Amino acid sequence: MKNWLLFFRQKSLVVSVLAVLGFVFMNVQPAWSEVTQTAVVVTTASDYSSGAHSVVTVDPVGGPRVAQNNLLPTKSDIGIAAYGNFFYRIGRYQMNHLTKFDINAPETPIWQFSVLGADEDANPHDMVFVSEEKAYLLRYGSAKAWIINPSAATEDEFKIGELDLSAYDDADGVPEMHSGVITDGKFFITFQRQDRSGGYGSWVLNEAWMAVFDTETDTEIITGKGNDTMHGIPLPAKNPQSIRYLEENNTIYVQCAGDLMDAIYSGGIVSVSPSAYETSLIIDDGDDDNHPYGNIAGMAIVSPTKGYFVGYAGWEDNSLYTFNPSTGDVDDLTIAYLNNKNLAGMETGAYADKNGMLWVCNATDGELVIINTADDSIDEIVSTELNPQRVAFVTVDDNQQPETSSSDDDDDSGGGTCFIGTATDGSHDFIHKASIFSLLFIGFLMAYFISGRYPEARKSGIKTES
């Protein structure tokens, strides 16, 4: 009888220890699971005479967020991209350079390299990352995209290749490559194909296309949707601007503005299958007689059933609409504060952070309007002093080792200019698993000693059978 009591006492102790360990394992999270996200915003003066950038904390939800404004003033035509700890300010028309910054020193350039090459005006529009050592730079004023090394220490190490995109040229000799996204080892590039040979005000919008390249070999993929010279995908709307890939439904979305100058409604929002290369016009901007939203001048995709777009009624007269990306159904205007504001001229118009908050650039009032996408309420309004144009998010692991010239994150920013994701280094996952294994081993050792015969027998004075 006493032996049975001892047996159950020992087993209950073992079960208790294992239960406690199980609770610990269920709640253990690696130290690097917490991330800090910071928004970097390029801004311009109201007369477009100058520009700068702002840095804004993403947390806390509900505010107050902290902004540093008017950092490193420059000309006004600038873009932004981010990867790991770093962000890159893109000097566009007649600037033709790329400037790298560490988010921990947002006013101090690490380097600035020319992207002009032999072209008269490269006019870089977008930077799309494959890894910390490879990215594509889309040069709007050229027929060649550059393959670059963002971790380069010298200008000689910076350019590592080219993509010849001259097959998509129109009459002015360049295809107007504008934005891109990477998914499943494929790089999708949009071409506006605006014939600008007639001079400003006489541009002609040709049929828009999308090319697909293999990111391993940098060779073009024949989609079966093209022709003898252009092997990519013709788009059913003109003047593509923002492009987004949504993993949840494995779909690429392309926002096309049509002709903003002459109010010609040839745009909309297009869905593209990244495997079958099929396209569908899910929202049509209308025609001369019926154009309920105006031109569609910006887009954000939050989920398969929630998206936003900027309706362009006229210069500095824009509004934010919500829609269902799966059905194309458009909701009524739900955010009255953003009606008839200057939300256009920024190409993508609105951006989502790690908390599911939508960051809308309100260039009428020099502010960021942060929207809770769950109910479309305004979470906070943050002043940027100058007028905000574009946003990128820098997402950093809190316990990541500091870097001086490159990042260890392995992430493709499949969001074109502004949707920035983060991936952790594989070694982090290994360390986390090894730590759990070690804890389990220690737990079994503890269970062994607790359930050993001699400690309990000596304390209780009970003799055990051999």
| Helix, strand counts (H, E) of the chain | 3, 29
pLDDT at 397 (0 to 100): 75
Which one has a higher pLDDT value, 83 or 459? 83
Q: Is residue 149 part of a domain?
A: yes
Residue 187 has pLDDT above 80, yes or no: yes
Our measurement of the distance from residue 280's CA atom to the centroid of its chain's CA atoms, rounded to an integer in Å, reads 23
Q: Is residue 362 part of a domain?
A: yes
10 Å Cβ neighbour count for 271? 19
If asked whether residues 326 and 456 sit together in one domain, one would say no
Nearest to 282 by CA among 323, 343, 250: 323
- Give per-residue pLDDT as tens, 70-81: 999 999 999 999
Buried b (16+ CB within 10 A) or exposed e, 393-428: bbbbbeebeebeebbebbbbbbbbbbbbbbebbeeb
Q: Considering its fold, how many domains does the chain have in total?
A: 2
If asked whether residues 83 and 154 sit together in one domain, one would say yes
Average model confidence (pLDDT) for the chain? 83
If asked whether residues 420 and 437 sit together in one domain, one would say no
If asked whether residues 317 and 451 sit together in one domain, one would say no
Residue 32 has pLDDT above 60, yes or no: no
Q: Is residue 295 part of a domain?
A: yes
Task: Quote the CA–CA distance of 434 and 430 in Å, as a whole number.
Answer: 6
* Percent of the chain topping pLDDT 70: 77
If asked whether residues 137 and 254 sit together in one domain, one would say yes
- For residue 198, name the pLDDT band (cuts at 50, 70, 90): confident
pLDDT at 348 (0 to 100): 53
pLDDT at 463 (0 to 100): 40
Residue 236 has pLDDT above 80, yes or no: yes
If asked whether residues 261 and 216 sit together in one domain, one would say yes
Of the CA atoms within 13 Å of residue 352, those in its CB half-sphere come to 20
Task: Quote the CA–CA distance of 408 and 425 in Å, as a whole number.
Answer: 7
Report CA dihedral (244, 246, 249, 255) to the nearest 10 degrees: -20
If asked whether residues 401 and 438 sit together in one domain, one would say no
If asked whether residues 300 and 231 sit together in one domain, one would say yes
The CATH number linked to 329 is 2.130.10.10
If asked whether residues 136 and 227 sit together in one domain, one would say yes
Residue 241 has pLDDT above 90, yes or no: yes
- Give per-residue pLDDT as tens, 11-22: 444 445 444 444
What is the arithmetic mean of pLDDT over 139-154? Answer: 98
Domain interval for residue 107: 37-43+52-424
pLDDT at 97 (0 to 100): 98
DSSP character for 333? Answer: P
If asked whether residues 323 and 437 sit together in one domain, one would say no
pLDDT at 350 (0 to 100): 66
Our measurement of the distance from residue 177's CA atom to the centroid of its chain's CA atoms, rounded to an integer in Å, reads 19
- For residue 220, name the pLDDT band (cuts at 50, 70, 90): very high
pLDDT at 465 (0 to 100): 40
If asked whether residues 331 and 451 sit together in one domain, one would say no
Q: Which helix (H) or strand (E) holds 23?
A: helix 2-27
pLDDT at 45 (0 to 100): 96
Which one has a higher pLDDT value, 459 or 306? 306
pLDDT at 197 (0 to 100): 87
Q: Is residue 21 part of a domain?
A: no
If asked whether residues 295 and 438 sit together in one domain, one would say no
